[in-house]
Amino acid sequence: MLPADPSALAGYRLLGRLGAGGMGVVYLGRTDAGELAAVKVTLADRAERPDFRSRFRREVEAARRVVSPFAVPVLGADPDAPEPWLATAFVPGPSLGEAIAEHGPLPGPSLRVLGGAVARALAAVHAAGLVHRDVKPGNVLLAVDGPRLIDFGIARSADPDGETALTGTDMVVGTPGFLAPEQAEARTGDIGPASDVFAFGCLLAYAATGRPPFGTGAVDALMYRTVHAEPDLAGVPAGLLPLLRECLAKDPAARPTAEALAARLVVDTPGTAADWLPAPVVRTIAERSARMLALPDIDPTNIPAAAPPTGPGRRRFLLLAGGAGVLAAGGGGTWLALRDGDGGRTDGKQPGPPPKTRKWTIGVQADLSGPGKDIGQAQERGVRLAVEAFNSGKDKPFTLDVKVSDDRGDQSRGAAAARVLTSDPDVLGIIGPSHDYTGYAALPAYDEARLPVLTVSAGYNLLTNPVLGQGLSVVRLCTQHNYAALYLAYHALAKSPRPLTRPGLLQDRTDDNYSWQYVVGASIGFKGSGVLPHPRVVPAGAKRLERVLGEMVDAGIDAYVHAGLAPSAVRAARTLDKLGFTGMRIAGQHVYGDEFLRGAGAAAEGWVVGAPIVPPGIRKQAAAFTAAHRARYGTDPAPYTGEAYDAVAMLAGQVEKAFKGGRRPDRTTLPGLLKKATFKGIMGDYGFKEDGNLTGVGTYVYTVRNGRYEPLDWAPSAPPKPAGTPGPSSSPQGS
């Protein structure tokens, strides 16, 4: 209590402050009968502002209209007092946010009790003709007999024309990360009970996973993701996923009602905390309840002494009793907990500064659930293994964590997925994107943030374009598609059983940018050696593919380069096999994979395929990594896992070098350091040009034998020498 604080108010003896905000103070009060209450008192100068008393009166009326065992009841109020006040029952338990932060996500049975109770409370709110508008972890208290919904400070009528709204029509009201799209965009006319249901979905997802479904970070980023991005529901129990997806629908009309949710989550009312909460949370409630019983005698206003306290102190008891989670002092959904100078110690000792753990984050943007999920998941595994390896080292000045953003391989999600990572100040670098076009869509976000982006699979040429000022922070550990095709043309010229005179180039426009880059690169390689290719193009969907291939064989092609994706490569392999074509058949990165082997079957035999990956089994440097992957995941590493591992190791090495004097390095300086660095990784050696592209070849060549990809060597970096002289030696990656 401060010198200016009253010792009593309206029959309540005030024991201490629970919180304070710009609008007033929340005290812990006790009646003569021993009943505890949270007493919210508004400052006198605020009370005299126009319309304030009417707003406060609406809050009181709203709280009184809600009748539910899972909503904190109003014990008394006086909106007309010189300093308007409101008292509600005090719950000596932690907020949901406190419990999750301290003890982690709730288990399935607890989630159903939590969801059922909060849904019943919201149903009562909506039945009273109100919208809560701030359903968040801090506004749900965990009590022995179930959760309690609190704080109706910004509640309003569900009918926007039925009464004057408490805020302006252009003001966003609520807590970012736990509000609906219509709230994020301040679409006042669309805000209604369905908005609370969206927030309920966010709350339940947070309780299940320990993280908000739309991430954390800057407010504008949270708002954007709420409106445009899909929620992150990884880790939510399968039985709750359909319900949460319905709650988090962007369209308010598609969401269920709170009453319907309560019916779907109906559970027996818990008798005690032990019946519905994990043991650690039960202990927290028990400890706080015990401290409530140990409150000392009530004294008048306690004037702070100059000397530090020598005992636990009344205010410290109150803070530990969970009082900072009952009402928002300003009526706007923001809690300011009372803090003593000793950081909450109850032993009377004055500790030094709290220990600071340096823990920074490696971001991963990848397709983890879309058509390219195999590649994206492989890269995520590589990142996690590299982070674990780094953290296990001795005398590390910091540790690393991993934050993942799934773009699902959908170009329209690329920018939003990137901003999940760029808005987090603890993210020092990005591994990914795993896909060409989600990467290109993400470029504006990464260019703006200027943090390093290391991709091991996106070969789209426009990801790095200094002329256009694009991709200035991108460091590419793989070859651009056009250069990869150039090197494969050199391989064909060097390894063909007979000199090539008319190689065929087929461009399948299903992925127009990729196939065009491959045709251009291969054409340059052949023409530079004096060989004129025979190019043909088929429309998207590989329409007329078989007919065009027949025409190419009739025209006398003696090699075939497939500039397209795996589905059309399967058709090409089968067609060429039927036509009896025996020349070299070549394809690139987007054909490499099991889809081609399974689809083409025996017709795939003998095909040459290039990709920016090395088999870990042929690299002795990768032996420990392979063993670690087997121990962790039970399988050998998939393609792109080792390359992602190398990317993290390289980035972490530069962060260590830049770490000076205990200060975090400026992440915007890291791209320049990486581009100047050379690195010996488990999968090869890496070096970079000024534009962030890989020096050397970076394309490994495989041939299909017995239904498997058999590794050959690095593709050559130069055309073969004239006939009669030895062919070029293979160029190591990064040389």
Residues 6 or more apart whose CB falls under 8 angstroms from that of 596 comprise: 566, 569, 570, 573, 587, 604, 607, 609
Characterize 118-130 residue by residue with b for buried, 16 or more Cβ atoms within 10 angstroms of its Cβ, and e for exposed: bbbbbbbbbbbeb
**Which residue out of 5, 134, 347, 401 is catalytically annotated?**
134
446, 483 Cβ separation under 8 angstroms: no
Q: Token pair for residue 254?
A: 């598609």
Helix, coil or strand: residue 465: strand
CA distances from 110 to 204, 267, 275 (A): 11, 10, 9
**Cα-based angle 701, 608, 636 (whole degrees, multiple of 5):** 55
- C-alpha span between 297 and 474 (Å, rounded): 65
637, 629 Cβ separation under 8 angstroms: yes
Q: How far is CA 599 from the centre of its chain?
A: 35
358, 161 Cβ separation under 8 angstroms: no
- Which residue spans within 499-634 are E strands per DSSP? 503-508, 534-538, 559-563, 584-587, 608-611
User: Residues 628-632: contacts with CB within 8 Å, 24+ apart?
Assistant: 628/385, 628/388, 628/389, 629/381, 629/385, 632/381, 632/385
Amino acid letter at 230? Answer: E
Active-site annotation holds for 367: no
- C-alpha span between 718 and 721 (Å, rounded): 9
Strands 36-42 and 12-21, how do they pair? unpaired
Catalytic positions, written as ranges: 134
